[in-house]
A and B are shown apart, each in its own frame.
Chain A
Amino acid sequence: MKNNFLIVDTSQENLVNVVLSNQNNLINLKNENKRECLRNLVPMIGEILENNNLTLEDLDFIGINSGPGSWTGLRIGYSTVKVLSLVLNIPIIEYNNFELIKKYSNIREGIILIKSSNDNYYFSEIKDSENLVDGIISEIDLLEKYSNKEKFYLENYSLEFLKSVLDEKFLNKNFSSTNDLEPYYVSTGLYKEHHE
């Protein structure tokens, strides 16, 4: 174990977030310009490693946020990380936004909401600490259907919290099989049906 890892989060439309854990030191590189994910992600990975005198070979694994969120952003993150993993044989560990929020807010019952495009939300309904159902819902349906449920949103969790989630998965050897990886699109209808 080298005690270093990298986390890539491209799930939000206007944010590229790269986190490096270097011997338990946490370093964070963010870019908050809209639509600049493709341009910035790979240079940011190069930069954060170089600034800390590390190379990709020094990583135990790469963590990636699987969504739900911006489909194009997620694909940029995934395509990058899948290929890095393929070339250098570094394991990948996935985590998702619902899981993060649920752990962070310690939710037993309620509904987790992540803003999507066109007044829609990705949602996950939690009951007895279990995810009942994930999906996409419009703002209007949300008010109608879940008005009496407690709602939870993506918050600014600390890097330490994020690290603890990834550390636990690493201990449990929760690795994903690199070549088949896809983001968590939470899609319905057409896309789901035709994309096995």
Chain B
Amino acid sequence: MNKDIYILAIETSCDDTAVSVVKNGSQVLSNVVWNQNKTHQKFGGIVPELSARKHLKVINYVIIEALETAKISFSDISAVAVNNQKGLIRSLVVGVSAAKALCLSLNIPLISVHHIEGHIFSNFIGKEISFPHICLTISGGHNLLICVNDYFNYQIIGNTLDDAVGEVYDKVARVLGLSYPGGPVIDKLSKNGDETKYKFSRPMTDLDSLDFSFSGLKTEVSRLKSKLDETQTNYKIEDICASFQKAVIDTLIFKTLIACRKNNIKNISVVGGVSANSRLRELFSEVGLKNNLEVFFPELQFTTDNAAMIGYVAHQKFLKKEFEKLDLEVYTDEPLV
């Protein structure tokens, strides 16, 4: 009988302190995320130094909770996985130091995982998506179109030229005087808004390119709001939210469909924090049905940053015995390929 494999995974790339225990690659026994949104709310965005301080302050508690929820102890862990690629450097070092200390004290292997790789496979937890597929990663930190050929075989076919889509949500929220993070609040308000009320551009949909550029949309929203305020026109913030959101989603769908057509691929995987957006899920699914494409979304708990996705990828590396030495470093913006 094969021994069960328990991977303890750590993810501290941005403002969430996340630790998870993944059993045999597919069973997520715990997925603890210590969220810092309240800390950063006052600033309308993330303050890196504060973020790093919070990670260090709570790291032990998050590890303890992940083990307790999983009902295992330190001695059961087979390997420790950590995201050391992509993220805020001050935040990453806290998670990586903790991971190394676990490995040294338990004498078990260390596995490194790229943050984006984690997101790609966040959609594999509890289901399988066949290869190749097109993966759209959308969050506050990344905005990529990736052709996923197999495990560890990726090709980036589209990238953002400026702000990632989640970042634009945050900035638009700030312009509209809404709270941080912008995604959930704009999504919620949009439900009571008219998405055809204002005309925003669909950036770069007139070009034969799979790249994105959303920063201009923020300027458009900002200009519209100033104009409406100046002319003392009555308006509903919900309508601006809905119209802005529709422009974003239309653009994402448009580019993803081109990516599928160009590569003759029928499966779409949409991941990252923004993939939790309800209207985006609706519209993507509609378009999928219409075009005979299958669209997959991760469970909501695996959309935003989490460690379970790191654990999932780490299991694949564990099987290949792809381990790291304890002199592992961090890379703040390491490309996926």
> A residues near B, CB below 8 A?
38-43, 45-46, 56, 71-72, 75-84, 86-88, 178-180, 182-183, 185, 190-191, 194-195
CB pair A83–B59 under 8 Å, yes or no, is yes
Contact B101 A38 (CB under 8 A): no
Contact of B326 among A46, A72, A190 (CB under 8 A): A46
Q: Kindly list chain A residues whose C-beta atoms are within 8 Å of the C-beta of B39.
A: 194-195
Q: Is the interface of A mostly helix, strand, loop or mixed?
A: helix
Count B interface residues, CB 8 Å: 37
- What is the distance, in angstroms, from B277's C-beta to the closest C-beta of chain A? 29
Question: In the bound complex, do residue A75 and residue B105 qualify as a contact, i.e. CB atoms below 8 Å apart?
Answer: no
| Residues in B lying within 8 Å of A, measured CB to CB | 39, 42, 47, 49-50, 52-54, 56-57, 59-61, 63-64, 74, 89-90, 93-98, 100-106, 325-330
CB distance from B269 to the nearest CB of A (A): 33
A-B contacts, 22 of them at CB < 8 A, read A38-B329, A39-B327, A42-B104, A42-B326, A43-B327, A46-B104, A46-B326, A71-B52, A72-B93, A75-B90, A75-B97, A79-B93, A79-B97, A82-B56, A83-B97, A83-B101, A84-B101, A84-B104, A179-B60, A179-B61, A191-B49, A195-B53
Q: Indicate if the CB atoms of A38 and B60 lie closer than 8 Å.
A: no
The answer to whether B325 touches A43, judged by C-beta atoms less than 8 angstroms apart, is yes
- The 8 A-B pairs at the shortest CB distance, nearest first, are namely A83-B101, A79-B97, A42-B100, A179-B60, A87-B105, A80-B101, A42-B326, A80-B97
Q: Across the interface, which residues of A come within 8 angstroms of B97, CB to CB?
A: 38, 41-42, 75-77, 79-80, 83
B11 → chain A closest CB, angstroms: 14
Whole-angstrom distance between the alpha carbons of A185 and B54 in the complex? Answer: 13
Expressed in whole angstroms, the minimum distance between the Cβ of A138 and any Cβ of chain B is: 19
